[in-house]
């Protein structure tokens, strides 16, 4: 098993290197691998200095976009792993408790009410999306809590209900928005990591990396919870406290990613399940593999998004949905076969 996991890790690192190089080379102005690497190793251009073409393209446009795709992909994939362990269902995803609907509502409000404003270098849509995503998650948790406990079925149903309400309010805001704002909202809802810049990378890196590290500290508890809550309780795990912390970490990861990149579907569903097939259910190996796999998948999807219909750029959420839909149908078919 250790040899197999080492092989998986090596393959993921090789895939990461190849996809990263491809991401630096691909775009409106194509660069050769040599030019891209020379631009990368030349370092960031000095402020006010005239940079070489490749250096400016790599450091000002493509590198922050690549890092953003890696962070968002890793965050969504690990959040998906946590949600699948929480609900003990391989078809759960990070948005199941209303994160995406809350983020969409917040971002739409930011577009419609304070379009174009910035706070601390971030657009109001990103800040409002984060507030909306976290607020809806907290509301869902509070409504689902009964007698000091949160039952997973109640949490799931409450999440569906509140998500429907948030989606309705989002549609209402879109209906009364100006035509220009409506176009921006629709494009944001499709998901993208384009035109975000270094500010978005620095803002996202802190909470995502800290949340990934904190989640990894709970690998033992995640493994024990898979055996059932009663078994976990007998093994000394405070199940309710642990599940609350894990839910909070997953919500923070998903909310941060939604706030910066918009709604990108299926990454938190596809990657955890696929990595589980490769590494097994042990979260000590699954979490790092999912983080790497999620980053590689989203970076690769971004390359497809910017090159498949060039010079038109496809929203990355469309690419992941096209890839994810067949895989989701495969999961449904596989679950039906296993049940039979």
Classify 120 in phi/psi space as left (phi over 0), alpha (psi -120 to 50) or beta. Answer: left
> Which band of pLDDT confidence, cut at 50, 70 and 90, is reported for residue 50?
very low
Q: What is the pLDDT of residue 195?
A: 82
pLDDT tens, position by position, 267-285: 998 899 889 888 988 999 9
Separation between Cα atoms, residue 240 and residue 148, nearest integer Å: 8
Q: What is the pLDDT of residue 3?
A: 57
Q: What is the pLDDT of residue 115?
A: 63
Confidence check: pLDDT of 161 > 90:
yes
Residue 58: how many other CB atoms lie within 10 Å? 28
DSSP 60: I
Confidence check: pLDDT of 335 > 70:
no
Closest to 112 (Cα-Cα) out of 176, 52, 205: 176
The owner of tokens 């379009």 is 115
Confidence check: pLDDT of 340 > 70:
no
Return the domain boundaries, the chain. Answer: 2-38+53-339
Q: Does residue 51 have a cis peptide bond before it, meaning omega lies within 30 degrees of 0? A: no
Task: Find the mean pLDDT for residues 204-220.
Answer: 95
For the record, the structure tokens of 72 come out as 């968002």
Q: What is the pLDDT of residue 163?
A: 93
Question: Residues 147, 152, 154, 160: what is their CA dihedral angle, to the nearest 10 degrees?
Answer: 140
Confidence check: pLDDT of 121 > 60:
no
Q: What is the pLDDT of residue 122?
A: 67
Classify 92 in phi/psi space as left (phi over 0), alpha (psi -120 to 50) or beta. Answer: beta
> Which band of pLDDT confidence, cut at 50, 70 and 90, is reported for residue 51?
low
Question: Greater confidence, 227 or 219?
Answer: 219
Q: What is the pLDDT of residue 146?
A: 83
Q: What is the pLDDT of residue 56?
A: 84
Confidence check: pLDDT of 72 > 90:
yes
Confidence check: pLDDT of 22 > 50:
yes
The whole-angstrom distance between residue 258's C-alpha and the CA centroid of its chain comes to 7
> Which band of pLDDT confidence, cut at 50, 70 and 90, is reported for residue 41?
confident
| Percentage with pLDDT > 70 across the chain | 92
1-10, 45-54, 164-173, 189-198: range with lowest mean pLDDT: 45-54
pLDDT tens, position by position, 294-312: 999 999 999 999 988 778 8
Confidence check: pLDDT of 142 > 50:
yes
Residue 104 has, within 13 A of its CA and on its CB side, a CA count of 28
Separation between Cα atoms, residue 207 and residue 323, nearest integer Å: 28
Superfamily of segment(s) 2-38+53-339: ABC transporter involved in vitamin B12 uptake, BtuC (1.10.3470.10)
By DSSP bridging, strand 122-123 and strand 145-146 are unpaired
Task: Find the mean pLDDT for residues 230-246.
Answer: 86
Closest to 315 (Cα-Cα) out of 202, 204, 184, 208: 184
pLDDT tens, position by position, 164-190: 999 999 989 888 877 777 777 888 888
Separation between Cα atoms, residue 300 and residue 292, nearest integer Å: 12
> Which band of pLDDT confidence, cut at 50, 70 and 90, is reported for residue 337?
low
Task: Find the mean pLDDT for residues 57-70.
Answer: 93
Q: What is the pLDDT of residue 216?
A: 95
DSSP 262: -
Q: Which element (helix H / strand E) includes 150?
A: strand 149-150
């Amino acid at each position: 098993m250790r040899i197999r996991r080492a092989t998986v890790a090596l393959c993921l690192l090789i895939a990461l290197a190849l996809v990263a190089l491809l991401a630096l080379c691909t775009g409106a102005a194509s660069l050769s691998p040599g030019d891209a690497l020379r631009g990368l190793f030349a370092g960031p251009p000095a402020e006010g200095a005239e940079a070489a073409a490749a250096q400016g393209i790599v450091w000002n446009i493509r590198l922050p976009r690549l890092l953003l795709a890696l962070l968002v992909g890793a965050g969504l994939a690990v959040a998906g792993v946590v949600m699948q362990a929480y609900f003990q269902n391989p078809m759960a995803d990070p948005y199941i408790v209303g994160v995406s609907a809350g983020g969409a509502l917040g971002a739409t409000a930011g577009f419609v009410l304070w379009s174009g404003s910035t706070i601390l270098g971030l657009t109001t849509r990103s800040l409002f999306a984060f507030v909306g995503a976290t607020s809806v998650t907290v509301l869902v948790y509070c409504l689902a809590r009964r007698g000091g406990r949160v039952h997973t079925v109640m949490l799931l149903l409450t999440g569906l209900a509140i998500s429907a309400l948030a989606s309705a309010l989002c549609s209402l805001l879109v209906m009364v928005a100006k035509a220009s704002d409506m176009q921006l909202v629709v494009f944001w809802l499709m998901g993208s990591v384009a035109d975000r810049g270094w500010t978005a990378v620095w803002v996202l890196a802190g909470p995502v990396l800290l949340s990934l590290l904190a989640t990894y500290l709970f690998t033992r508890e995640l493994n024990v919870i898979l055996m059932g809550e009663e078994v976990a309780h007998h093994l000394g795990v405070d199940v309710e406290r642990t599940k609350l912390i894990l839910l909070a970490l997953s919500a923070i990861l998903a909310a941060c990613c939604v706030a910066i990149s918009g709604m990108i579907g299926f990454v938190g569903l596809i990657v955890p399940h696929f990595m589980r097939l490769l590494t097994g259910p042990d979260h000590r190996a699954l979490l790092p593999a999912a983080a790497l796999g999620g980053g590689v998948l989203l970076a690769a999807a971004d390359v497809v998004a910017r090159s498949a219909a060039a010079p038109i750029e496809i929203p990355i959420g469309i690419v992941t949905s096209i890839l994810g839909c067949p895989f989701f149908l495969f999961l449904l078919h596989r679950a039906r076969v296993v049940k039979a």
